[in-house]
Amino acid sequence: MKGTANDAWPEAIYRTLKGAGVRQVGYVPDAGHKRLIELCLADRELRSVVLSTEEEGIGLLAGAWLGGARGALLMQSSGVGNCINALGTVRECRFPLLMLVTMRGQKGEFNPWQVPMGQATPAVLQSMGVVVHEADSAEAIAPAVDAAARLAFGSYQAVAVLISQAVIGIKSFQDQASR
Amino acid sequence: MKTTLHRRKVVEILLENRKDLLVVAGLGSTAWDITAAGDAPLNFPLWGAMGNAAMFGLGLALAQPRRRVLVLTGDGEMLMGMGSLATIGVQKPRNLSVVVIDNERYGETGMQATHTAAGVDLAKVAQGCGFRITRQVRSAAQLGTLRAAIHRPAGPLFAQVKVIAEKIPLVLPPRDGGLLKARFRKALLGAQADLD
């Protein structure tokens, strides 16, 4: 896979976030977002905030919006479950929220413990009022992020882009550890 | 040493002559406390998201580095989001203060004891997480210096103010979340609030 166009999607997300005026990025470290997190950390104009749990990112970005700053929240699908109650506040206050979620528990999952939350992720998000954009190919990701950012900040919506496990392509524990 | 402090008086003193201080209050009694001291557009009282008040403060402090940000919250609310102290300790914003009004009780649910009643020391947790200034406050004499410290850009600051566990009348802020958000942004950002 290395060196192919398939590897370029994290750079494309990064450029899209910059173009959308994002100034704060909250993240819980994740193999699927590894490259994007590196790009964010290397950018001195972005404040990248490592979180101890994904739920913290909901408060971080709501506070950022109160202060006039746009943000994005990076996580794996398992982290969506950690955010549920906080999403209620996002909905009640109509805070814009841009979530980029790398999916597990989908196509080719090797860890059975990832499957329940991964399979429930779109339904859980939608039940809390979050608009879901699913990106099933590398080429679809940046346009989905761009559309999500416009919807989030232009219309004060919570929007999640779900990046398919087929794109991330982690095949085994060994593969994950080697990244 | 047993505390003699009453929570409403503590919050009133901390918010005295607040200048351009931005205030976030955690779900429950601290939201009523800041309202008793005087409802204001630059107050953001949380009616939900328990455990997330300090993170609201972090996002706000990073977005507004020239302003001072004060998070006032309760011991139960802080215990639910203790990981956020580690997250703040990594970022070390100089303009953020987190003050826990610690009555050692879950005040809204029947005054059940919290972990701090059994001796859990939140100020030590904050110190271990890398807050630059941490203290426990048990007397009125310490409140003036705490208020002054909140206005200095030498944070992040964490204070655990031990107060008497007492049932006092509710003083409720507006509860429409959209309204609270919009009035805060308008007061802080002016016309830009509608253009972002």
Band of pLDDT at residue A178, cut at 50, 70 and 90: confident
Q: Is A154 on the interface with B (CB under 8 A)?
A: no
pLDDT digits (tens, 9 = 90+) for B39-78: 999 999 999 999 999 999 999 999 999 999 999 999 999 9
Structure tokens at B139: 């007397």
| pLDDT in the model for residue B14 | 98
The residue extents of the domains of chain B are 7-194
Q: Among residues of chain B, what percentage have pLDDT more than 70?
A: 100
Closest residue by Cα to residue A135 from A170, A161, A171, A107: A161
Q: Is B50 on the interface with A (CB under 8 A)?
A: yes
Q: Is A45 on the interface with B (CB under 8 A)?
A: no
Question: Which among A23, A60, A92 is the nearest to B58, CB-wise?
Answer: A60
| pLDDT in the model for residue A107 | 86
For residue A4, the SS3 value is coil
In this structure, the strands spanning B96-102 and B69-74 are: parallel
Q: Among residues of chain A, what percentage have pLDDT more than 90?
A: 87
**Cβ-Cβ contacts under 8 Å for A156 (sequence gap 6 or more):** A94, A95, A96
Closest residue by Cα to residue A27 from B91, B156, B71: B91
Please tell me which residue of chain B has the smallest CA distance to A64.
B59
- What is the predicted ipTM? 0.97
Q: Between residues 146 and 185 of chain B, which touch chain A (CB distance below 8 Å)?
A: 177-178, 180-181, 184-185
Please tell me which residue of chain A has the smallest CA distance to B25.
A63
| pLDDT in the model for residue A3 | 45
Report yes or no: B47 and B172 within 8 Å, Cβ to Cβ.
no
Four-point Cα dihedral A133, B62, B185, A66, nearest 10:
40
Domain B7-194 is in which class? alpha beta
pLDDT digits (tens, 9 = 90+) for B68-110: 999 999 999 999 999 999 999 999 999 999 999 999 999 888 8
Which segment of A3-12, A46-55, B55-64, B86-95 scores lowest on mean pLDDT?
A3-12
Min Cα distance A40 → chain B (Å) is: 15
pLDDT digits (tens, 9 = 90+) for B179-193: 999 999 999 999 999
Give Dmax over CA atoms of chain B in angstroms. 52
Residues of B in contact with A153 (CB under 8 A): 196
Min Cα distance A109 → chain B (Å) is: 29
The answer to whether the CB atoms of B63 and A56 lie below 8 A apart is no
Tell me how far apart the alpha carbons of residues B147 and B14 are, in angstroms, rounded to a whole number: 5
Scanning the structure block, which residue is given the tokens 């204001």?
Answer: B40
| pLDDT in the model for residue A179 | 73
Scanning the structure block, which residue is given the tokens 């290397």?
Answer: A42
- Domains in chain A: ranges and CATH: 5-177 (3.40.50.970)
